[in-house]
Structure 1
Amino acid sequence: MLAELDVPGVRFSVLLSEDGLRIAHSGNITRDNADRFAAAASGLRSLGKALGEFCGGLGDNVRQNVTEYDQGMIFITAAGEGAVLGVSTTAEVDVALVAHRLNELAARVGHELGAVPRRGGARP
């Protein structure tokens, strides 16, 4: 499914659990870097939740984070219960096209592959 994000300007995509574990990745990224990206994307998503109250809500319903850098952008989008999609792009990407494809894919992933959140607690 991640191959659907193969549009001009997309470097790679990573499907991760909300707690930062890589589930799958595609594009020009190694598994180790995809693991690092997943952990960082989860952290950025958490920061977005903390800022949500300043948008008039409780802060726990972040739909999408978009961070722009000199050489590209990072999109992080909720993809169902416990799953998140992250995408890295170049600076020349069509932002509207990537956001559209990302939201379509997030809806499919949420429906088909939603990751079950891990629960804390002692093991027997």
Structure 2
Amino acid sequence: MTTDLTWLMDQLHKDIPGCRTVLLLSSDGFHRARNSACSQDLADRLAAVCSSLINCAHTAGQIYDDSSLKVQHIDWEHHQMALVDAGANANLSLAVVTDIDTAPGLVGEAMRLMVTRLHGHLKTAPRSPEQSPS
């Protein structure tokens, strides 16, 4: 993906009170976009951790013949993290870390709206005949 989506990640960061980090990551554990305040190192580390968590959740779901992960939510003492599928065709997930007192419903709704917006930016334009490989 060559599109710079930082502006979208920044918008989500601004829309959620107490938001610390917004990260778009691939299923192979690489970050694809992050909010401006998130460092490269943090994005790399968090993407790897989130990818592992998502894979564990998918595996656990398969035990119950339900591998369609909707939302994964983790609470710590001072923070919370939500992970959602950002597009099965693109193998991407969206992660948001907020302060613990941020309303999970608000986070979930903001993430749902962002995933909808992301789909328009992740689509690949159809090839014209002159772009087709020979």
Question: What's the TM-score, normalizing by structure 1?
Answer: 0.82
Q: Is 1:39 equivalent to 2:48 in the alignment?
A: yes
Q: Please, which of 79, 85, 95 is the counterpart of residue 78 of structure 1?
A: 85
Measured at CA, do residues 4 and 70 of structure 1 come closer, stay the same or move farther in structure 2, by a change above 3 Å? Answer: same
Distance 1:58 1:64 in 2: 13
- Conservation of the 8 A alpha-carbon contact between 1:83 and 1:110: no
Measured at CA, do residues 68 and 27 of structure 1 come closer, stay the same or move farther in structure 2, by a change above 3 Å? Answer: farther
SS in 2 for 1:79: strand
Alpha-carbon distance, 1:114 to partner: 6.1
Distance 1:111 1:64 in 2: 21
Measured at CA, do residues 110 and 91 of structure 1 come closer, stay the same or move farther in structure 2, by a change above 3 Å? Answer: same
Correspondence 1:54-65 to 2 at 5 A: 54=63, 56-59=64-67, 61-65=68-72
Letter in 1 for 2:32: I
Runs of 4+ in 1 over 6 A off after TM superposition: none
- Conservation of the 8 A alpha-carbon contact between 1:63 and 1:78: yes
Q: Which residue of 1 aligns with 2:74?
A: 67
Q: Greater Rg, structure 1 or structure 2?
A: 2
Q: Which residue of 2 aligns with 1:121?
A: none
Measured at CA, do residues 62 and 68 of structure 1 come closer, stay the same or move farther in structure 2, by a change above 3 Å? Answer: same
Measured at CA, do residues 49 and 99 of structure 1 come closer, stay the same or move farther in structure 2, by a change above 3 Å? Answer: same
* CA offset digits 1:44-64 (Å, max 9, x no partner): 00011011135x4342x1121
RMSD, matched Cα: 1.8
Q: Please, which of 34, 55, 58 is the counterpart of residue 49 of structure 1?
A: 58
Alpha-carbon distance, 1:28 to partner: 3.5
Unaligned residue ranges in structure 1 (runs of 5+):
116-124
